[in-house]
């Protein structure tokens, strides 16, 4: 056999090797043979040889090979690993066109590559729950957007919670989240606190459900719990969420104001004080953390929810607005747009649905605040989310900003 002549160091670079091109093509052809023509060991051996050549091949040569093997029903794993981590155009071919990629392939790739590769994976057809959870964990807004826009992606609840948390800093994620069928009240109600007015209306109209079915199902449990003097804490909390009555009758009997209407009127006349805020909360059947969150809300819609849920008239919304020195009219004497939006919220809500929202806030923002949860909020320990229940996770997300996170 004739040996090739040696090339001196000063010689010009050799033109692309025709033999290399043919060899890459032939090896790719062998890897692509059906199972009836090649066994698993032969395919693996050929793939190993092909990978070694591709490591030194130029981008055009790698692109030709990946286009050849992407449609295969089974691509050797060593080639998958190589191409998924390759230049974007090469990785795109495999991610978009290869149906045989497994979750293990894609999860491992997502952990090793950059943002642009993860965006490609997020937009791939039929993203699984495991893969969506991996992608969401990086918290990259562009990747999260691609994932939310992907109608074929399946979202796990941990993935949704991660995106809900990210939406606090990235408001454009809120509307995309609201389009996802997997979103549950636990995510929607906590996202309410940083959503804009339009998104808040969507949340209230979509997730503010009645509790009639629950009330009917457990109607006979209330006298049982009362006979036990409400001694079981777990059942007591659940029944407090379900029951029809919103106001705290015992608090009204002890109140120096005589009732909720009078306390609201006193706040409107003299301004909201800490004492009055706590009293309104107690009379409304709320814990202090929930009351504080409602009264401190910038948009004001929670005031409408509070009033509708407790049976207060529409004028009470204006009184609470006035109690916190918020402007009621503009320079031309017309009602401010902000107050108008709050009153519209009052009109659109039915009493029982408003109670559902208020009960969920009270459940999530107060009952869930254990010392461990507060420590996790303060430390910004996102990994600790898995240790808590749904209302506890909601509390962590909603109150994180109050702990300097």
DSSP 100-140: T--HHHHHHHHHHS-HHHHHHHHTSTT--HHHHHHHHTT--
The half-sphere exposure of 72 on its side-chain side, counting CA atoms within 13 A, is 22
Residues 53, 132 within the same domain: no
Residues 283, 361 within the same domain: yes
Of 183, 201, 224, the residue at which a domain comes to its end is 183
In whole angstroms, how far apart are CA 115 and each of 77, 120, 173?
23, 9, 17
Residues 358, 265 within the same domain: yes
Residue 331 to residue 63: CA distance in whole angstroms: 66
Residues 61, 144 within the same domain: no
Each residue of 385-402: pLDDT tens digit? 455 555 555 555 555 554
Each residue of 77-133: pLDDT tens digit? 999 999 999 999 999 999 998 988 999 999 999 999 999 999 999 999 999 999 999
Determine, yes or no, domain membership for 78: yes
Residues 179, 301 within the same domain: no
Residues 124, 239 within the same domain: no
pLDDT score at 359: 87
pLDDT score at 10: 52
**Which of 40, 36, 94 is CA-nearest to residue 63?**
94
Compute, in degrees rounded to 10, the torsion defined by CA atoms 222, 223, 226, 231.
-60
The half-sphere exposure of 404 on its side-chain side, counting CA atoms within 13 A, is 3
Each residue of 231-285: pLDDT tens digit? 888 888 788 778 888 888 888 889 999 899 999 999 999 999 889 999 999 999 9
Token pair in block for residue 40: 């698993």
Domain that holds residue 51: 20-101
Surface-to-core class of residue 217, CB atoms within 10 Å of its CB (0-12 exposed, 13-18 middle, 19+ buried): exposed
pLDDT score at 266: 94
| Chain centre to alpha carbon of residue 136 | 9
CA angle 401, 404, 405 (to 5 degrees): 70
Residues 290, 363 within the same domain: yes
Q: Angle of helix 115-122 relative to helix 103-112, nearest 10 degrees?
A: 150
Determine, yes or no, domain membership for 304: yes
Determine, yes or no, domain membership for 40: yes
Mean residue pLDDT of the chain comes to 85
Residue 74 to residue 72: CA distance in whole angstroms: 5
Residues 121, 255 within the same domain: no
Token pair in block for residue 270: 């003299």
Rounded to a whole number of angstroms, the distance between the first and last alpha carbons of the chain is 73
| Chain centre to alpha carbon of residue 312 | 34
Token pair in block for residue 275: 């004492």
What average pLDDT score do residues 169-190 get? 90
Determine, yes or no, domain membership for 87: yes
pLDDT score at 18: 86
Return the number of other C-beta atoms located less than 10 Å from residue 360's C-beta.
Answer: 22
Token pair in block for residue 56: 């030194």
Whole-prediction pTM value? 0.77
Whether 349 contacts 204, CB under 8 Å: yes
Whether 20 contacts 49, CB under 8 Å: no
Residues 272, 334 within the same domain: yes
**CA-only gyration radius of the chain, Å:** 30
- Which phi and psi angles does 329 have, rounded to 5°? -130, 160
Residues 34, 145 within the same domain: no
Determine, yes or no, domain membership for 373: no
Residues 349, 232 within the same domain: yes
pLDDT score at 391: 53
Determine, yes or no, domain membership for 273: yes
Determine, yes or no, domain membership for 249: yes
* Structural domain total, the chain: 3
What average pLDDT score do residues 350-365 get? 85
Residues 170, 266 within the same domain: no
């Amino acid at each position: 056999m004739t040996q090739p002549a040696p090339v001196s160091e000063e010689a010009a670079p050799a033109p692309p090797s025709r033999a290399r091109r043919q060899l890459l093509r032939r090896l790719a052809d062998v890897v692509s043979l059906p199972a009836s023509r090649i066994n698993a060991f032969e395919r693996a051996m050929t793939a190993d040889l092909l990978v070694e050549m591709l490591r030194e091949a130029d981008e055009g040569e790698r692109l030709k090979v990946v286009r050849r093997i992407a449609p295969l029903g089974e691509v050797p794993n060593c080639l998958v690993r190589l191409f998924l981590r390759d230049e974007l155009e090469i990785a795109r071919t495999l991610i978009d066109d290869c149906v045989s990629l497994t979750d293990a392939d894609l999860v491992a790739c997502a952990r090793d590559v950059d943002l642009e590769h993860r965006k490609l994976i997020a937009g791939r057809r039929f993203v699984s729950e495991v893969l969506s959870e991996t992608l969401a964990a990086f918290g990259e807004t562009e990747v999260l957007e691609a994932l939310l826009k992907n109608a074929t992606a399946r979202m796990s609840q941990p993935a949704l919670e991660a995106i809900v948390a990210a939406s606090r800093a990235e408001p454009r994620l809120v509307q995309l989240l609201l389009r996802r069928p997997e979103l549950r009240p636990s995510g929607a109600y906590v996202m309410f606190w940083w959503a804009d007015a339009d998104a808040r209306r969507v949340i209230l109209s979509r997730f503010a459900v009645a509790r009639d079915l629950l009330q009917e199902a457990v109607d006979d449990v209330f006298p049982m719990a009362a006979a036990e003097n409400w001694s079981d804490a777990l059942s007591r909390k659940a029944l407090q969420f379900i029951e029809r009555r919103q106001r705290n009758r015992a608090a009204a009997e002890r109140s120096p104001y005589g009732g909720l209407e009078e306390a609201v009127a006193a706040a409107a006349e003299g301004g909201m004080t800490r004492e009055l805020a706590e009293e309104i909360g107690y009379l409304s059947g709320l814990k202090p953390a929930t009351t504080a969150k409602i009264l401190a809300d910038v948009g004001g819609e929670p005031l409408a929810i509070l009033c509708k849920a407790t049976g207060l008239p529409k004028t009470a919304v204006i009184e609470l607005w006035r109690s916190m020195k918020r402007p009621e009219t503009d320079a031309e004497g017309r009602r401010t747009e902000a107050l108008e939006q709050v009153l519209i919220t009052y009109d659109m809500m039915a009493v029982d649905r408003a109670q559902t929202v208020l009960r969920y806030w009270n459940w999530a923002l107060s009952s869930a605040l254990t010392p461990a949860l507060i420590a996790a909020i303060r430390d910004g320990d996102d990994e600790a989310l898995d240790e808590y229940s749904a209302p506890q996770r909601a509390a962590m997300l909603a109150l994180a900003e109050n702990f300097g996170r």
